[in-house]
């Protein structure tokens, strides 16, 4: 199996998951193969993930686009030049401005090599990212799942996935992180694809799913 999901391996995984889990299969029968929801690995995606913490995706995307436009591009150099005060003037909270400025500093001074993160064994790369203030387990999980496209990541800190899993399995309450990992363990080695199926279902249930074109 490839280290990164491809359109072909995504379809293969969806078929496998639908065959072993009738609940996932019902979603796939209704909605089809989920989008890849891929992001480009690198600094800009990590900034976007920081902005997505504890806010809606729509709000984070609007803020990200505005800040990127004001800075002339979301690069470490532009973020460093703006500084925490400049980032706050563009709408970031004090905390997120500090996180983004710190991330830019680490990338530019060499303490964080994102190419090395991508090339390293997952546990090593994850440890490198977790050393960065503002990048916790959820942020790193999302980066590995969407940007590095690893096939077997489950982010137990994701509230949308917890809600989708509750609905999928008819649970009385949101599953704890341990309960999520236990259920998702049956979907190894394709937990990242199961997550995409559940995100698709979550969005569809709220009238917010837009099927991929083509």
Q: What is the CATH number of the domain that holds 57?
A: 1.10.340.30
End-of-domain residue from the set 100, 129, 147: 147
**In a domain? residue 212:** no
> How does pLDDT run across 12-21, given as a tens digit for each residue?
999 999 999 9
For the record, the structure tokens of 99 come out as: 């996180």
> How does pLDDT run across 137-178, given as a tens digit for each residue?
999 999 999 999 999 999 998 999 999 999 999 999 999 999
**In a domain? residue 210:** no
Answer yes or no: do 73 and 123 share one domain.
yes
User: Structure pTM?
Assistant: 0.94
Answer yes or no: do 51 and 77 share one domain.
yes
**In a domain? residue 128:** yes
Q: How many domains does the chain fold into?
A: 2
- Which contacts (CB < 8 Å, 24+ apart) does range 160-167 have? 160/199, 160/202, 161/195, 161/198, 161/199, 161/202, 163/202, 164/198, 164/199, 164/201, 164/202, 164/205, 165/198, 167/201, 167/202, 167/205
In this structure, what DSSP letter does residue 64 have? H
**In a domain? residue 211:** no
Cα 33 from Cα 10, distance rounded (Å): 8
Answer yes or no: do 112 and 192 share one domain.
no
Cα 115 from Cα 1, distance rounded (Å): 21
Cα 206 from Cα 12, distance rounded (Å): 27
> Does the structure show a pLDDT above 80 at 1?
no
The range of the structural domain enclosing residue 15 comes to: 7-37+152-205
Cα 168 from Cα 22, distance rounded (Å): 10
Q: How confident is the model at residue 53 (pLDDT cuts 50, 70, 90)?
A: very high
Cα 183 from Cα 176, distance rounded (Å): 11
């Amino acid at each position: 199996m490839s280290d990164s999901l491809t359109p072909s391996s995504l379809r293969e995984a969806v078929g496998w998951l639908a065959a072993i889990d009738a609940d996932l299969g019902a979603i796939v029968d209704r909605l089809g193969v989920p989008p890849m929801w891929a992001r480009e690995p690198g600094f800009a995606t990590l900034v976007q993930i920081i902005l997505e913490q504890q806010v809606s995706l729509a709000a984070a995307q609007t803020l990200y686009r505005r800040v990127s436009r004001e800075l002339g591009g979301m690069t470490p150099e532009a973020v460093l030049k703006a500084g925490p005060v400049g980032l706050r003037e563009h709408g970031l909270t004090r905390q997120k401005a500090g996180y983004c400025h710190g991330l830019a500093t680490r990338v530019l001074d060499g303490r964080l090599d994102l190419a090395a993160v991508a090339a390293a064994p997952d546990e090593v790369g994850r440890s490198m990212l977790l050393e960065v203030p503002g990048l916790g387990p959820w942020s790193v999980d999302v980066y590995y799942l969407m940007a590095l496209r690893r096939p077997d990541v489950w982010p137990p800190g994701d509230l949308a996935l917890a809600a989708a899993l509750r609905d999928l399995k008819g649970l009385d309450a949101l599953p704890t992180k341990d309960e999520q990992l236990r259920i998702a363990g049956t979907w190894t080695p394709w937990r990242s694809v199961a997550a995409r199926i559940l995100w698709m279902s979550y969005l569809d249930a709220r009238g917010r799913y837009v099927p991929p074109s083509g």
